[in-house]
Amino acid sequence: MPSPTDTPARLLQLLSLLQTPREWPGGELADRLGVSRRTVRRDIDRLRDLGYPVQATLGADGGYRLVAGKALPPLVLDDEEAVAIAVGLRAGAGHAVEGIEEASVRALAKLEQVLPSRLRHRVATLQTATTPLTSGDGATIAPETLTVIASTAAGSERLRFTYQARDTTESRRLVEPHRLVSTGRRWYLVAYDIDREDWRTFRVDRISEPFATAARFAPREVPEGDAAEYVRRSVSSWGAGAAYDLDVEFAAPAEAIAAQLSPTFGVPEPLGPDRCRLRATSTDPVQWMAVRLAMTGHAFTVHSPEQLQTTAHDLGSRLIQSSPSRSGHSSPCGD
């Protein structure tokens, strides 16, 4: 317990108690902190001045509760909470789960930056002892790689790393990192390559030994004006004959489909209040694309390519066969 005269330490302990989802009677808080109820009231006022929305209730033993406010104030986490959050973020980020996106990687970078060494060891031990069940169609990435890249991009700091090309040749790169982009299956880094004097897109699963140089740079404007669009165009150009034109119509509003798919798929075109059409160029395997389209939860019709039409139809047939009670229903995937 902090000394009653140690105001900063007492405020942190009080904040930690209030962040537990319950109402705390003033008398109980005073006993926990070893101070008077009057001191508790003054400390509550200090927390409010710092932006923490503490709500008080009237009564013989008035209580206090931390409620939702207009902004997110700093959180105080105990050891178990910090470890749980770090493990969860590392697991998700390491497998490029769609929806994790760059914001979660930034949060992981901030958390791991301040984790004490004892907690870093616990996180690493739990991560090593855990075997995730994944679909196997996405590359596994060390979370440390993502956090180093995210930190340098956020801080406009030059980054060095070893990069393995498609033909397995390796090279050392010095870049100005701009943004991490997730497509759901993979992470990509959009960065300005210093030696090549041009913008490049790097698959993060091919990056190793990332090193923050501490050299700052003035951010440049990315081509296409948007990192996700730049990745989409770059990935399409890598196909070298394997790329195909995707044309899919959905029985859903354009905004609903856009919310379900990564920006690298392109922007759905509205056809009415409840229909839209997605036209894009893709190099993703058609089997994965068929599954991804089905995962939107909306009926769709594939206009092209023909191979995706066949794959989506076969997928729908197999799903129907797996539910005999619905065998008379039409395929949700279209053709």
Across 7-11, 79-83, 107-111, 297-301, the highest mean pLDDT is recorded for 297-301
pLDDT digits (tens, 9 = 90+) for 23-54: 888 888 999 999 999 999 999 999 998 888 89
pLDDT at position 182 over 60: yes
Contact between 2 and 9 under an 8 Å Cβ cutoff? The reply is: yes
- Please tell me the predicted confidence (pLDDT) of residue 291: 87
Beta strands at 170-182 and 187-193: parallel, antiparallel or unpaired: antiparallel
Position with higher pLDDT, 323 vs 239: 323
Q: Is the pLDDT of residue 218 over 50?
A: yes
Residue 97 clears pLDDT 60, i.e. is over it: no
The maximal CA–CA distance of the chain, rounded, in angstroms, is 77
pLDDT at 105: 73
pTM, two decimals, is 0.51
Q: What is the mean pLDDT of residues 221-242?
A: 72
The average confidence (pLDDT) of the chain is: 80
Rounded average pLDDT over 171-198:
88
pLDDT at 175: 97
Joined tokens for residue 138: 């996405």
3-state secondary structure 201-268: EEEHHHEEEEEEEEEECCCCCCHHHCHHHHHHHHHHHCCCCCCEEEEEEECCCHHHHHHHCCHHHCCC
pLDDT bucket at 136, cuts 50 / 70 / 90 = very low
Please, are residues 29 and 22 in contact by the beta-carbon 8 Å criterion?
Answer: no
How confident is the model over 216-231, as a mean pLDDT? 85
* Contact yes or no for 201/179 (Cβ under 8 A): no
Confidence band, pLDDT 50/70/90 cuts, at residue 229: confident
Average of per-residue pLDDT across 249-277: 88
